[in-house]
């Protein structure tokens, strides 16, 4: 069951887009999970544990992001990511 990736979609609510502080929160969260957590936007994929990759997504407010988690705690990890990204 853990092999099947958990997929979610979320609209980025932060008015400043995916900038340093939401990225920082997301990376911290991702580090607490064993699951591999990928965020993709506009054809680019970022590992949620990589600050640089997340920055390079260049996602602005209102962007629709795909969240994909694989691993033992995939479900929890994906939910946490969605929660953080939908925080204004």
**Residues identified as active-site:** 19
List Cβ<8 Å contacts ≥24 apart for 75-78: 75/6, 76/33, 76/35, 77/6, 77/29, 77/30, 77/33, 77/35, 77/37, 78/6, 78/7, 78/8, 78/35, 78/37
Smallest distance, another protein to C-beta of residue 17, A:
7
Smallest distance, another protein to C-beta of residue 27, A:
5
Closer residue to another protein in complex, CB, 13/27: 27
Closer residue to another protein in complex, CB, 4/46: 46
Residue 62 near another protein by CB under 8 A: no
């Amino acid at each position: 069951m853990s092999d099947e990736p958990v997929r979610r979609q979320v609209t980025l609510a932060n008015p400043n887009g995916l900038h340093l502080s939401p990225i920082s929160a997301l990376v911290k969260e991702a580090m607490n999970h064993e699951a591999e957590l990928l965020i993709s936007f506009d054809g680019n994929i970022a590992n949620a544990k990589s600050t640089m990759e997340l920055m390079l997504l260049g996602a602005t407010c209102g962007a629709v992001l795909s969240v994909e988690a694989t691993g033992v705690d995939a479900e929890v990890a994906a939910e946490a990511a969605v929660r953080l990204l939908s925080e204004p």
